[in-house]
Amino acid sequence: MIKFPVPKSAASIHPTSTTDVQIGRRKFLAFAAAGTAIAACATIPVAAASTSINSGSPRKLRLYNTHTREKLSVTFWSNGHYLREGLDQLNHHLRDHRQNESTDMDPRLFDQLWLLQENTGSTGRFEVISGYRTPRTNAGLRKKSSGVARKSYHMQGRAIDVRLSDVPLKTACATARKLKLGGVGYYRNSNFIHLDTGPVRTWAS
């Protein structure tokens, strides 16, 4: 619930200009819209999400990079351990395409994606909007959008912005929230969800 400060008395209320009122109204509407989006994502009915993993089962992902138009089908886990070749392919696929630089992504992020597709029953592919970001790219994006964090998990290789080609965005968001494996952001207008391996938290924009 969003709480607004309440003045102790009428004497503490200062006259405001029409511009101040308009700005305040815009902020209120923005908060209200975000709250509605979070509620929509949270209340959509989905089956109970399971984080149980058969350690011996291969874990596969299919991805499509919306910027480079590259496609990838890869097994990143098999026989109880991560596969170096598979991780390297994912690291390259999720590179910062603006700077053509990659990093070692957090493998737990790939586990999140795999569990998301398993729990939604998806047979489609993940469409990648953003993976790794260099500090330079992140700074450039911050100049264009207030929604880009200064210390973004993208710069640590711990975040990804995606959508599933065959699953409604609300369903993917609600399922990811139930998994409780990290941060989940719902970006309805931009048509993607943000996933990261940071603390469990949710937000919407």
Q: What is the pLDDT of residue 50?
A: 65
pLDDT interval class at 159 (50, 70, 90): very high
Average pLDDT of the residues in 35-47 = 58
pLDDT at 144 over 70: yes
Compute the average pLDDT of residues 127-146.
Answer: 92
Tally Cβ neighbours within 10 Å of residue 197.
Answer: 20
- What are phi and psi for residue 198, nearest 5 degrees? -80, -165
Helix-helix angle 18-43:169-179, to 10 degrees: 80
Residue 194: both structure tokens together: 């943000």
pLDDT one-digit tens code per residue, 94-129: 999 999 999 999 999 999 999 999 999 999 999 999
| pTM exceeding the 0.85 threshold for the entire prediction | no
Neighbours of 85 (CB within 10 A): 11
C-alpha pair distances (Å), 131 with each of 1, 32, 82, 98, 152: 31, 29, 19, 11, 11
Contact 110, 90 (CB under 8 A): yes
Q: Are strands 81-82 and 59-65 parallel, antiparallel or unpaired?
A: unpaired
Residue 39 or 82, more confident: 82
156 vs 48 pLDDT, higher one = 156
Classify 81 as helix, strand or coil: strand
Characterize 121-156 residue by residue with b for buried, 16 or more Cβ atoms within 10 angstroms of its Cβ, and e for exposed.
ebeebbbbbbbbbbeebbeebeeeeeebeeebbbbb
Does the pLDDT of residue 157 top 60, yes or no? yes
Query: In order of start, what are the domains of the chain with their CATH numbers?
Result: 59-204 (3.30.1380.10)
Bigger pLDDT: 56 vs 184: 184
How high is the pLDDT of residue 9?
38
Q: How confident is the model at residue 5 (pLDDT cuts 50, 70, 90)?
A: very low
